[in-house]
Amino acid sequence: MLRRTARCNVHLLQALLPTTTVRLPTALLEPNQVDLALKTIADIEPIAKLTNVAPLGQAISLLTTPDAHREAQKLFKQCSEAYRTDLEVGGRRSAIHRLQLHEALMTSGYYMRACDRYGDPLDSVRFVVNHFNFDVRRDVAITTLVHQTLLEHLPTTAESDQMLSDLLLMERRLYGANRLRAITGKQWLCLGCPLREITTEAELDRIMSLAPVKQHGNFSVSWEDKEGRWKEATVRCLPEPEDAATPIEAAILHPNTTASGINWSTVKPVATMHEWSLRALKPAPPLPWGEYIREKLLQIWVYWFSFWAIFFLVDEEVITLIGLIWGKWQHSKVMAQEAEKTGRRVYMNNYRFY
């Protein structure tokens, strides 16, 4: 219990706020990081189009000056509102543009919270993760294109390859080697591609052979023979190298600096590794020559027996139909001969014979 004694003079504020700390303003980005970020932003069409409404480049330029963080926070808030408005009511955009707007929104939201010296140091990181899990995962345009590209065997396009590459890099930056952990009871290869929908070895090989997955997925697939005719594939995420981040991720999304009191250079990845297994059937071994002939004869006998069984089950109907067709033909033939002998017109069921 805190108490005032002759040896210990406790101040009232110290008693009420015993763990108060003050975070001094520091530069959130270095000048070279800002230059790299501005070059990256200039190449992104949705962000460049909203520059007048959402000055993201101007806000990022202020991150090198600690005294300008309050002004930068206002600009980042303005950018967040503009990007969210364009996503929700700005009309239908392509999937790659929507993903870039989500990334810009996560960037502006991250730094808007990182510039606040009095907020929770983890608010910025929490916002980025929550936005990806709740907003990006519910974006139908993005998930539909990924599902069509990976699981519906549709031909890939330049847009789908670019979006899939950006999405894989974003997930690697956010979750690293733990991307295969279960979310809402499902394991996901990436956003829009649940692993339980991959059921055959051919599907798994096709997905892993796609250029974006092979180049940016950072997956490993190992096969192990099991008892009998079964084999099992294990899919894992490889550890992330230090230079795996894209320029926009390294310069904007997660700076290697002491932003909000978090030194990202000292943060170690989680040691827990997640994996997914697929059980597949091996191809049947070749049959001996005698067994092959025996199998073919058995198939021929099954087909022959099935044909005659079906015929005798419906023999009465078949015989009646054939008899009616033959009788009609014979009757028509007789009437035609009668018309030729008499030289008169003979009518039968609206047919005229001469």
Instruction: Give residue 354's pLDDT band: very low, low, confident or very high (50, 70, 90).
Output: very low
Q: Is the pLDDT of residue 35 over 90?
A: no
Q: What is the pLDDT of residue 212?
A: 92
Task: Decide the pairing of beta strands 351-353 and 346-348.
Answer: antiparallel
Residue 88: in which H helix or E strand, if any? helix 69-89
In angstroms, the CA 102 to CA 108 distance is 10
In angstroms, the CA 326 to CA 319 distance is 11
235: β partners: 221, 276
Q: Is the pLDDT of residue 259 over 80?
A: no
In angstroms, the CA 288 to CA 97 distance is 58
Q: What is the pLDDT of residue 21?
A: 43
Distance of CA 339 to the CA centre of its chain: 79
Q: Are 92 and 142 in contact (CB under 8 A)?
A: no
Task: Out of 154-163, 252-261, 298-307, pick the least confident.
Answer: 252-261
Q: What is the pLDDT of residue 224?
A: 87
* Closest listed residue to residue 259, CA positions, set 113, 92, 71: 113
Instruction: Give residue 5's pLDDT band: very low, low, confident or very high (50, 70, 90).
Output: very low
List the domain boundaries for the chain.
23-281, 289-353
> Which residues make Cβ contacts (< 8 Å) with residue 299, sequence separation at least 6?
none
In angstroms, the CA 101 to CA 98 distance is 5
* Closest listed residue to residue 238, CA positions, set 211, 282, 208: 208
* Closest listed residue to residue 208, CA positions, set 228, 187, 179, 237: 237
Tokens of 260: 């909000």
Distance of CA 237 to the CA centre of its chain: 15
> What's the mean per-residue pLDDT of the chain?
77
Instruction: Give residue 250's pLDDT band: very low, low, confident or very high (50, 70, 90).
Output: very low
Q: Is the pLDDT of residue 268 over 50?
A: no
Report which of residues 92 and 57 the model is more confident about: 57
Identify the three-state secondary structure at position 194.
Answer: strand
* Closest listed residue to residue 110, CA positions, set 257, 218, 225: 257
* Closest listed residue to residue 276, CA positions, set 217, 219, 347: 219
- Rounded (5°) CA angle 131-134-136: 70
Q: Are 251 and 159 in contact (CB under 8 A)?
A: no
Q: What is the pLDDT of residue 92?
A: 64
Q: Are 214 and 274 in contact (CB under 8 A)?
A: no
Q: Is the pLDDT of residue 7 over 70?
A: no
Task: Out of 52-66, 135-149, 254-268, 337-351, pick the least confident.
Answer: 254-268
In angstroms, the CA 99 to CA 51 distance is 17
Task: Out of 36-40, 76-80, 291-295, pick the least confident.
Answer: 36-40
Q: Is the pLDDT of residue 246 over 70?
A: no
DSSP type of residue 344: S
Q: Is the pLDDT of residue 350 over 70?
A: no
Q: What is the pLDDT of residue 15?
A: 53
pLDDT tens digits along 189-212: 998 889 889 888 889 999 999 999
Q: Are 124 and 259 in contact (CB under 8 A)?
A: yes
DSSP type of residue 183: B
Q: What is the pLDDT of residue 20?
A: 41
Instruction: Give residue 271's pLDDT band: very low, low, confident or very high (50, 70, 90).
Output: very low
Q: What is the pLDDT of residue 208?
A: 92
pLDDT tens digits along 290-315: 888 998 999 999 999 888 887 777 77
Q: Are 124 and 110 in contact (CB under 8 A)?
A: yes
**Phi, psi of 72, deg, nearest 5:** -65, -35
Tokens of 6: 């002759």
pLDDT tens digits along 50-70: 777 778 888 888 888 878 888
Report which of residues 21 and 12 the model is more confident about: 12
Task: Out of 38-47, 74-83, 131-140, 194-203, pick the least confident.
Answer: 38-47
